[in-house]
Amino acid sequence: MAERRGNRDKAEDELPVYLARPGTADQVPRQKYGGLFCSVEGAFESKTIDFDALSVGQRGSRTPRTAKRETGQEARSPATERRSTDGAERQRETAQPEIRSGCGKEVLQNLGEEKSDRLLIKGGRIVNDDQSFHADIYMEDGLIKQIGDNLIVPGGVKTIEANGKMVIPGGIDIHTHFQMPYRGTTTVDDFSQGTKAALAGGTTMIVDHVIPEPGSSLMESYDQWRQWADEKACCDYSLHVDITHWNDSVKQEVDNLIKEKGVNSFQVYMAYKDYYQMTNSELYEVFTFLAERGGIAQVHAENGEIIAEEQARMLQMGITGPEGHVLSRPEELEAEAVFRAITIASQTNCPLYVTRVMSKSAADIISQARKKGNVVFGEPITASLGTDGTHYWSKNWAKAASFVTSPPLSPDPTTPDYLNTLLSSGDLSVTGSAHCTFSVSQKAIGKDDFTQIPEGVNGVEERMSLIWDKAVTTGKMDENMFVAVTSTNAAKILNLYPRKGRIAVGSDADLVIWDTDSIRTITAKTHNSTAEYNVFEGMELRGAPLVVICQGKIILEDGNLHVTSGVGRFIPCSAFPDFAYKRVKARKQLAVLRAVPRGMYDGPVSEFSMSRGGTPSASARTSPTKQPVRNLHQSGFSLAGNPAPCGPPTPDDIPIRPAGRRIVVPPGGRSNITSLS
Amino acid sequence: MSGYQGKKNIPRITSDRLLIKGGKIVNDDQSFCADIYMEDGVIKQIGENLIVPGGVKTIDAHGRMLMPGGIDVHTRFQMPDRGMVSADDFYQGTKAALSGGTTMIIDHVVPEPGISLISSFEQWREWADSKSCCDYSLHVDITEWHKGIQEEMEALVKDHGVNSFLVYLAYKDIFQLTDAQVYEVFSVIRDLGAIAQVHAENGDIVAEEQRRILEQGITGPEGHVLSRPEEVEAEAVNRSVTVANQTNCPLYITKVMSKSAADVIAQARKKGTVVYGEPITASLGTDGSHYWSKNWAKAAAFVTSPPLSPDPTTPDYLNSLLSCGDLQVTGSAHCPFNTAQRAVGKDDFSLIPEGVNGTEERMSIIWDKCVVTGKMDENQFVAVTSTNAAKIFNLYPRKGRIAVGSDADLVLWDPDMTKIISAKSHNSTVEYNIFEGTEVRGGPLVVISQGKIVLEEGNLHTTEGSGRYVARKPFPDYVYKRIKARSRLAELRGVPRGLYDGPVCEVSVTPKAMTPASSAKTSPAKQPNQPVRNLHQSGFSLSGAQVDDNIPRRSTQRIVAPPGGRANITSLG
């Protein structure tokens, strides 16, 4: 540790501190030209903060909420008192991060210190998705203001001594269903409870799904969700909107949501027949529209038609328990729907996002499609990464029912390991939790018929720890990849990067100090969700957040949560995220189709009936004469001399092709069986 | 041999007895040298120094290969389409087939939606019986779905010797069935012991793409292939494989035209699905670059669905998969229309009647592309042109094999013969041949159908109406052995549990009309959970009596092993 500090002192001799390349003494060309944001080859050009990109979110929602934030401060005051006593006895274990309030002279200099939300993290190792380095972070007003060594900060700043622990961007849970209405009841975790659980697990932003009832207005539902979340959310949030039916007015609403309401991702359902499910033609139209407007098409991928048939069969056979849920939704149906969605997306040149990748076969299809160059992102969820579907056969009905979600957890116990591997290799891109919990009495709606069991599992709290445990401690991925799949990739897809998902000057102060060694056992007794069951019950996970900072404020420290309902801001997402659309745009330019200019066909034309309902014609007509048609070989070539304007191979228009071209080469010469890869 | 129909009393030439000396008999499993003696259309003896009656007509094979006559599993002779009829009727079509070494065809009955399957079937029987020159059988297409169809299918299987039905995933609003209907059709087919055939293309996407491409002003035949990209074919193949797996029904994909569709089939076979792929002469012999021909009539002659792939490496790839066994049978999908008929779609490619020629060229193309190039041997050639088809459709060993008791449908094959395919010399009635100018090596020297010499020294001697309908029984072993074993295994059982006796939330019965609940309801109190906790202890009334190792096992199983120990990144195959 001492050595490291020494290095940094040297580096700082030559440079203004805030420009020093953190953690290294190398010559860095950039400082010579002085500008923090000038793009110099080899410098951090792609990582430079683009303030224009940030302005989208900050404009609308930041200022109005300051009042609320102050009330948040007051609510927190007991905790603050406790923290100062902590500060007094700060000579504890050196390995633990310490939090120090400003004291003594510093306090005198900065009387308003408590309100200004200034925070300094010293001695942490900053982990972004591209690299890790040692540096201090100074935050003010919920933004990261400085990163570097020996920062010059105002006095009286609250300081966290990270002691070399990892500081990572707060997690983004890209898929939650808090407070989701379901047949007159609501999921037990509302936005307050849900975001509290999220923060406890190191997730500082959630993206919830707005689910309009088929037939109702998207915009009204969106407003409803905004209202619920604004009242209660404890962390920043954003919204996906689900398209549950399709017509021109929905199209108009989607357009408005993208342009005015900061929604850039829309989910369609291929399951839930006669309810949410869309036909292939509708999917095609939705995808085409989203591709034009720069949205991301999300799909719930399962073949609803076959499921409906299988469900009927199961119930007929007398299988009514939760095992029927997984038996009626085999993983092939998921893979089939993923395949179909990818086909349609590739036809319409629309970026695709597959929510809830639950099975090996579905993940395989996604990775194959990515290899073929399709723009497709896969989202495994906490449950599919952490547990499997063997529990559906549990004798305890309530336990079995708590695992019910769609697509179901795969009964194949090797699935979690496989999905973690694909997540590590980059074939799957982001992780969500699909947190959508129901109490046992709610699940019991389907006690006699598994198709009635409300669907959803927990996972928002466990997500980060679980991925750390399953993927990082096992050596599948490194800490940078961990940041990418838990936070950065999600931010990029939502077009929130680099405001979220990165520790950089100008980014939001959503940070987590991660303890790689802490071990805890997941149990429903201690979790923050209201549900009675936890699908990860009894699992021992290594890795947990030590300190969680959200909007520049300390939310979790020493195992204590200090959350304030309603401080969460809506973060609008703008259309055409580069991460997805750069490739799509390039392809659009290429994909122009052209017709072949031909002379008018002037030969004879058969008579035919337009309606296909006609009866088969009599066999007397079966031998049409060849006579008139033969002329055609010579006629109809008025344009034939013109040059062919376009790419595809244009075989000669001579009626009988030059014989030389198609002549077979000697046996074994041309065709080669080894060319079959 | 119960399938013989009443038309055996055709005036027979005296030389109904036939001896082939000195040939190399090629079956799908082995080749050997022997003489063959035939009588009454059936092979009576195989061996050396046969004792045969005097006065028998003798053919000296001079060591050339003698193989079972080809079976073209997919033809559409005389097919009605919007008041037109495809240019080759059963006479012209079977004549072309015989001249290419194919001695049996299986045609598709395409009932117009709304018309009974049985009456369409009878109609086709009538056409074929009066005109066909070689034995034939019939597939029946399912173009709509309701209860009556199911009964008709039963009748067709039991009384009419049909064991294969085709469903369409394309042709939206005409023939196309929904996934749920396909599921039901497959379930019925499995129960009847038949084969489910699929025309695999996603009709919804095709319809959308057609509209888009017409809007862009592309009306020529190139629009046909642009609106039906191969992905759309692969998607539908994948979907039908999924449905077939669910219903445990054997699947047969007709017209495999693209690499990606073939890949999907090959993968499904590796996973153990009972699925067969049928590439056709056109997809094995040519490609879709001709859709861009300046000659409209020529471009239109290539129009078929799924379209020929514009990727010129496709034929080679499909031939390789055919050689390695990933694709099993070959058809021709012979359904040509003459240019005047095609011109119905001169201003709109979506109206061009679809179908290409290929029944005559099938055997020679495969020989040239696969055997001459060393991809397959002569036995595999027999398998893909004849034997596999006979096995799948339950005609084996009557057809598809040279053995005592089999039908005397034979081909004396000349591997060195070369010819140039041309519309001038082919036996079809259409003006264009999509293989125009292709030089192929290998062709039939002598073709024997029903024990009679049909092709000799380049001369065809066909008799209109001599073809018999061959009935096919359900549950072909080749296909159903595996299916039967699986259906015995696939019994699902529920978990015996105590009755759930905890509290149950109230719900409204009609979920669809629900508006989102108001936010006042958002924080359900934890109180109702109280009684539920009991559930951990209660509700186990049966648990002692059964295998209840589920629950105790769980807790120990879930503890994480030391980092790096259990999970292994190399386990990703």
Delimit the domains of chain B by residue range.
17-65, 70-442+455-489
- CA dist A541 → A125, B243, B407, B558 (Å): 22, 39, 71, 10
Note whether A107 contacts B: Cβ–Cβ < 8 A.
no
> Which is more confident, A31 or A329?
A329
Crossing angle of helices A360-371/A415-425, nearest 10°?
20
Pair of tokens at residue A159 = 């300081």
Distance of CA A445 to the CA centre of its chain: 31
Return the HEC string of B401-467.
CCCCCCECCEEEEEEEEEEECCCCCCCCCCCCCCCCCCEEEEEEEEEEECCEEEEECCEECCCCCCC
Smallest Cβ–Cβ distance between B512 and the set A275, A447, A595 belongs to A275
Q: Check whether A358 has a pLDDT greater than 90.
A: yes
Computed over every residue of chain A, the mean pLDDT equals: 79
Residues of A in contact with B375 (CB under 8 A): 671, 673
Residue in the block written with tokens 């008709």: B152
Q: Does B148 touch chain A (CB under 8 A)?
A: no
> How many whole angstroms from its chain centre is CA A29?
36
Measure in Å the smallest separation between the Cα of B154 and chain A Cα atoms.
Answer: 21
CA atoms within 13 A of residue B327's CA, in its CB half-sphere? 33
* Nearest residue, CB atoms, A596 vs list B78, B204, B292: B292
pLDDT, residue A102, reads 55
Structure tokens at A561: 């949560």
Higher pLDDT, B95 or B9: B95
B141 has a pLDDT exceeding 50: yes
> Side chain identity at A662, as an amino acid letter?
R
Ranges of H-type helices in A216-279: 218-232, 248-260
Q: What is the mean pLDDT of residues B337-347?
A: 92
The per-residue pLDDT for A675 is 42
Check if A444 contacts B (Cβ < 8 Å): yes
Nearest to B208 among A281, A633, A667 (CB): A281
Tell me: pLDDT of A72 over 60: no
Is the per-residue pLDDT at B524 higher than 70?
Answer: no
Contacts of B487 in chain A (CB under 8 A): none
* In contact, B60 and B22? CB cutoff 8 Å: yes
B contacts of A475 (beta carbons < 8 Å):
563-564, 569
| Structure confidence at residue B359 (pLDDT) | 95
Residue extents of the structural domains in chain A: 168-587
Q: In this model, does residue A174 exceed pLDDT 60? A: yes
What CA–CA distance (Å, rounded) separates B332 from B355?
Answer: 10
If one counts every other C-beta atom within 10 angstroms of the C-beta of residue A100, the result is 18
Query: Among the residues of A294-387, which ranges form H helices?
Result: 304-316, 323-327, 331-348, 360-371, 382-386
Question: In the 3-class helix/strand/coil scheme, how is A23-73 assigned residue by residue?
Answer: CCCCCCCHHHHCCCCCCCCCCCHHHCCCHHHHHHHHHHHCHHHHHHHHHHH
Query: Residue A161: which of A218, A93, A105 has the closest Cα?
Result: A93
Which CATH homologous superfamily contains domain B17-65?
Answer: Urease, subunit C, domain 1 (2.30.40.10)
Does the pLDDT value for residue A658 go beyond 70? Answer: no
> What percentage of chain A has pLDDT greater than the value 90?
63
Residue of A nearest to B89 (CA): A622
Q: How far is CA A350 from CA A576, B231, B404, in A?
A: 11, 15, 61
pLDDT confidence of residue A375 = 94
Whether chain B has a CB inside 8 Å of the CB on A231: the answer is yes
Q: Which CATH superfamily is domain A168-587 in?
A: Metal-dependent hydrolases (3.20.20.140)
Asked if A647 has any chain B CB less than 8 Å from its own CB, the reply is no
Quick one: average pLDDT of A176-195?
A: 92
Q: Which of B120, B296, B550 sits opposite A393 (nearest CB)?
A: B550
What mean pLDDT do residues A480-492 have?
95
Would the pLDDT of A68 be above 80?
no
Among candidate residues B299, B500, B135, the one with its CA nearest the CA of residue A444: B500
Contacts of B68 (CB under 8 A, 6+ apart): B27, B382, B386, B387, B390, B399, B400, B401, B402, B406, B409, B410, B411
Residues of chain A with Cβ-Cβ distance to B571 below 8 Å are 414, 417-418, 421
Chain A positions touching B368 (Cβ under 8 A) are 664
Distance, in Å, from the CA atom of A577 to the CA atom of A492, rounded to the nearest integer, reads: 7
Tell me the chain A residues in contact with residue B346 when contact means C-beta distances shorter than 8 Å. 600-601, 605
**Range list of β-strands (E), A562-668:** none
Q: How far is B343 from chain A (nearest CA, A)?
A: 5
Substitution target in A395, A525, A528, A537 with the highest count of B β-carbons within 10 Å is A395
Strands A236-243 and A203-210: parallel
| pLDDT, position A590 | 78
The pLDDT tens digits for A254-295 are: 999 999 999 999 999 999 998 999 999 999 999 999 999 999
Quick check: A561 and B183 in contact, CB under 8 A? Answer: no
Confidence of residue A95 (pLDDT cuts 50, 70, 90): low
- Cα separations (Å) of A115 from A72, A155, A529, B463? 11, 14, 31, 102
Helices A248-260 & A280-293 angle (0-180, nearest 10): 30
Structure confidence by residue, pLDDT tens digits, A568-617 = 999 999 999 999 998 888 888 877 777 888 877 888 888 776 544 333 33
Interface test with chain B among A289, A396, A675, by most B beta carbons within 10 Å: A396
Contact criterion met (CB < 8 Å) for A306 and B179: yes
Could you tell me if B302 and B291 are in contact, meaning their C-beta atoms sit under 8 angstroms apart?
yes
| CATH number, span B70-442+455-489 | 3.20.20.140
CB-CB under 8 Å, B234 with A343: yes
Residue B458 pLDDT class (50, 70, 90 cuts) = confident
Residues of chain B above pLDDT 90, percent: 77
pLDDT in the model for residue B509: 56
Distance (Å) of CA B571 to CA A76, A379, B261: 49, 21, 28
ipTM of the complex: 0.75
pLDDT tops 80 at residue B161: yes
Confidence (pTM): 0.76
